[in-house]
Structure 1
Amino acid sequence: MIREQIEAKLREAFEPAYLEVTDESYRHNVPAGSESHFKVVLVSDRFVGERFLTRHRAIYGVLAQELEDGVHALALHTYTLKEWEALQDTVPASPPCRGAGTLA
């Protein structure tokens, strides 16, 4: 499964204090069983001093093959441990897909 591949690669690359990879494909206008839209919450002190753009680029680099092979979207929530603690372990909910429910 693609979710497990993503999780394994991110664990190896970032040694996260917390990692959650959620398949949100069902919320989008894709065929049943698609694994194309994911939400990633990644907490790692490797992000200390890094801007969000740099963090996201690092993740895109690690997941380049998955993105080339059909992962269409990644909702990335990247934090240092200090930032995560300040959020009290909460993450914004993903917005609804504009085209959800229109696929017959």
Structure 2
Amino acid sequence: MTNRTDIIKDTLSESLQPTFIQVLDDSQAHAGHEGAKSGGGHFYLTIVTNDFEGLSRIKRHQLIYKTLGDMMKSDIHALSIKAFTPEEQPQPQEI
């Protein structure tokens, strides 16, 4: 786990109190890409929290982007998001 991965996970956990969170760093697969030149990483996020109840997919993503704040401008170039409520949470093989 990278330092940025820890920071992303800790920031989201503190604010959204997820019942499940997984952050994977895929930056090494994008070395040399245009977006990677600025130092921003590529991450996959799966998060389950009650805070998403009643929110559309877009609103969930906006909440995550807002929570991560300036990291979205400097540390994160690409963020793939799977955001669920506990009732929507798929079985592990479906994630």
Q: CA deviation at 1:70?
A: 3.2
Q: Is 1:78–2:83 an aligned residue pair?
A: yes
Give the gaps of 5 or more residues in structure 1: 92-104
Which segment drifts farther, 21-30 or 44-53?
A: 21-30
Bigger Cα Rg: 1
Scaled by the length of structure 1, the TM-score of the pair is: 0.76
Structure 1 moving runs of 4+ over 3 Å: none
Query: 1:39: which partner in 2?
Result: 44
Aligned length: 87
Is the strand fraction higher in 1 or 2? Answer: 2
Aligned 1:1-104 pairs, distance under 5 A: 1-30=3-32, 36-84=41-89, 87-89=90-92, 90-91=94-95
Q: CA deviation at 1:35?
A: 5.8
Scaled by the length of structure 2, the TM-score of the pair is: 0.83
Computed over aligned residues only, the root mean square deviation of the Cα atoms, in angstroms, reads 1.5
Give the gaps of 5 or more residues in structure 2: none
Residue identity over aligned pairs, in percent, reads 28
